[in-house]
Chains A and B, each alone.
Chain A
Amino acid sequence: MGLSFLPQLPFALSAPIMIGALLAAGLLAGEAANRYLALPRITGYALAGVALGPQLSGVLSEEVLRALSVLIDLSVGLIVFELGFRFDWRWLKRNRWLLATAVAESLFGFGAIFGALVYFGFAPALAASAAAIGTATSPAIVMLVAHELRAEGQITERTLLFTAVNSVFAYVALTLLLPLLHLRLQAGWLEAVLRPAYILGGSLLAGVAACMLMLGLARWLGKREDRQFVLLVAMVVLTVGVARSLNLSVMIALMALGMLARNFDRRHVLMPLRFGHGGQLFFVILFVLTGAGLNFGAWTTAAWLVTVLLVARFLGKALAILAFARLSGVRPGGAGLLAIALFPMSGLAVGMVRDTSELFPVFGQQLGGVLLAAVAFTELVGPLATQFALRRAGEADPEARGE
């Protein structure tokens, strides 16, 4: 008598099981964190990831994480696209001091980290690369906290704007710094020049092409929110895929797509964007997976250096914002809150550290761990900072907690 219809034990953990379980675990942890500890849900998602990750339980092994990295890219792609789509050149044109603040925020953040690391004896080229990586604020955290709180107002808008600027700044600065490292380490300098040109130019080109295609299709589809939503998702996923296949930067390509779509849509064929509940799915997965990949190692070996980096970064950014706040029309007290809201370091840093370390193992040995530990810390504490700032600014919806 054959029971061959029964599955073989132990049965394989298929991708749907894995993804479904990740979603459920993240959802429950987020809800619990919010209900019992009054923490942002995002922190709960990330904590679930930490618990499941290779450093603790190991349910999610390094191998699984690598296999699921496409999900991270897709989620980041959606978020970065939305961030770019909200980026409004005309605002910067009308408010030059805002432009000055955005540039200064990136430069001062970079300068402060660079200065601190050089002061503690790191080689300038390594310090500069680390500073570039560290300058970025997490698009995912600020965007999600703003969504969760249904926050709206000047501090929220400016947090998102500065995040878009410093994310691009970080990536471009790092890419341009890599040739310096190449030269220092006497690598072939043709590669040193061509590599950043390929990545930046190629990502930008991918964004431009996707944008043209999207605008053309949107014009043909007409102004229907449901159809345009599917179109947006399709273009985002497609661009993420193309960027991955061509070894380009997902972040730059999607940011370019978003920014161009918003600012070159002269005839306003695109409807305003609302990802709604669908977006939430990706965000939960993103934070669980990011949490699983967090690396706290350096907190045990170089806690002081991680602290120095975070403090210098915060002070640099705060100084720039405070200096220009009133001129750019921020109400009194708003500047400090903006600086706090921008505290979370970008999860994109993980990828940047990985890429840089692969090219230059010496960077990974000296500063990789420190950056990763800083990211890990702000991934958990950062949402709290952003949430505090937006609430304190009076921009959160008081009824949004129960949503």
Chain B
Amino acid sequence: MSEAGGVDEMEFRPSAAVSLGVELELQLLRAHDLDLSRGAADLLELLGKRKLPGAVKPEITESMVELNSSVHLQHGSLRDELVAMRDAVVNEAGVLNLRVAGGGSHPFHDWADRRIFPTGRFRAILERYGYLAKQFTVFGQHIHVGCPNGDDAVYLVHMLTRYVPHFIALSAASPFYQGEDTGFQSSRLTSISAFPLAGHMPFVRDWAEFLEYYEKMRSLGIVASMKDFYWDIRPKPEYGTVEIRVCDTPLTVQRAALLGAYAQALAAYHLQERPRAPARAVYLVNSFNRFEASRFGCRGELIEPYESRRKKIGEDILHTIETIMPHALKIGGADALTELAADVRHGYSDANWLLECRTISGSLPDVAREAATRWSGAA
């Protein structure tokens, strides 16, 4: 991976269509008070001695590690690998008396306490963004879907943007932030929006036009590499993928794999059937839809850009699952979509689970503890 970012970095390396991989940012908690810990370095050191299927990497603060799966063609194998990785991480964390948890935000940590992982890139981010960098202690899931070429990747980004509210609502797991009940299903997205290069990809037609845009931004010194774009969905040429970045890290690896299966089936449907052409209208309604999804989850409303009408996000998801089911069947994701649909019908979200946890237990440290127990697979 080159940090410098030149034309080579931007060469789109083809990968098997609709292959699948995920990255999960995880919270490391102290056992005694359930606040965020600073255990990343010690944990990575221990994990370095073990053979793992994917990879575990440092992230911006010392309270976070990132699980990277390898590339999968099916939901089932992705899930099994994530379970194996989770077990390894949870076990080694136990040696250090750390808890590991999913969820898009830590319920009560104080961002001013965070310390940045001491690598060059992360220090540079702190230098550039000031307190935003520390406030950025939020935990997301990134889903990569493979594309055969850059043009397909650009097309897929435009197509998937319509479903951004789906991914937000299905993954939402950050109702608490800095000790407050935010009223949002996903409060995490708000802290990302503060970054100048957050948002979405411009409305380019193909990979050539995208490269033109990228070169312009680079020559103006606004970005140094693709990493500097904090877009909701972005092409990732070095992996040959489209990367969906709006999801909160769910409370379980199983749900993380379900979200992967949903993205995969959506991509298969669009790349194979090409049901629609890219439309500017999608971007017109994007921030409204995005807000509705992060605030209300599946109960929110989105504006369907192609039909210009309002719809409940939950209904829209169920409808979409019906449409893409034939593709899911072909790639082994049907059960996963059925499970997701059932959750939508029952009004389940990880955020609601966390809220209920607080109602029952009465304290945010308890919420963090329960989330860690759930992540470990024990409950």
Contacts and interface: CB of A to CB of B under 8 A. Distances in A.
B30 interface: yes
A272 B32 CA distance: 7
Contacts of A157: 97
A7 B41 CA distance: 64
Contacts of B34: 272
> Looking at chain A, what size class is its interface with the partner chain?
20 to 34
B361 A154 contact: no
Given A95-B95, A153-B38, A154-B39, A86 B363 contact: no
Contacts of B366: 223, 268
A95 B97 contact: yes
Contact of B115 (A222, A272, A328, A397): A397
A248 to B, nearest CB: 27
Given A152-B38, A272-B32, A222 B362 contact: yes
Given A223-B362, A268-B366, A271-B363, A152 B97 contact: no
A331 B42 contact: yes
Interface string B79-109: 0000000000000101111000000000000
Given A154-B42, A331-B45, A272 B96 contact: no
A94 interface: yes
B32 A88 contact: yes
Interface string B358-374: 00011101100100000
A90 B366 CA distance: 17
Contacts of B38: 152-153, 395
B95 A272 contact: no
B37 interface: yes
B208 interface: no
Contacts of A88: 31-32, 97
Nearest to A160: B32
A258 to B, nearest CB: 11
Interface string A77-100: 000000001101011001100100
B46 interface: yes
B163 to A, nearest CB: 39
A265 to B, nearest CB: 12
A329 B362 contact: no
A223 B41 CA distance: 33
A325 to B, nearest CB: 12
A98 B96 CA distance: 10
Nearest to B44: A331
A169 B214 CA distance: 66
Most chain B beta carbons < 10 A, residue from A90, A329, A397:
A329
A272 B94 contact: no
Contacts of B365: 268, 271-272
B95 A329 contact: yes
Interface centre among B34, B38, B115 (most CB of A within 10 A): B38
A157 to B, nearest CB: 6
A105 to B, nearest CB: 17
B94 A94 contact: yes
Contacts of B95: 94-95, 98, 328-329
Contacts of B42: 153-154, 329, 331
B361 A268 contact: yes
A37 B71 CA distance: 57
B260 to A, nearest CB: 30
Given A153-B42, A397-B115, A86 B32 contact: yes
A382 to B, nearest CB: 24
Interface string A98-133: 100000000000000000000000000000000000
Nearest to A329: B95
B240 to A, nearest CB: 36
B322 interface: no
Contacts of B369: 268
A157 B31 CA distance: 10
A91 B97 contact: yes
A270 B39 CA distance: 24
Interface in A42-79: none
23 contacts: A88-B31, A91-B31, A91-B94, A95-B95, A95-B96, A95-B97, A98-B95, A152-B37, A152-B38, A153-B38, A154-B39, A222-B362, A223-B362, A268-B365, A268-B369, A271-B363, A273-B33, A328-B95, A329-B42, A329-B46, A329-B95, A329-B96, A395-B38
Given A95-B94, A98-B95, A272-B365, 13 more contacts: A90-B31, A152-B30, A154-B42, A154-B96, A222-B362, A223-B361, A223-B363, A223-B366, A272-B35, A329-B42, A329-B46, A331-B41, A331-B42
Interface of A: 85-86, 88, 90-91, 94-95, 98, 152-154, 157, 222-223, 262, 268, 271-273, 328-329, 331, 395, 397
Q: Which 5 A-B pairs rank lowest in CB-CB distance, beginning with the nearest? A: A272-B33, A223-B363, A91-B97, A94-B94, A329-B95
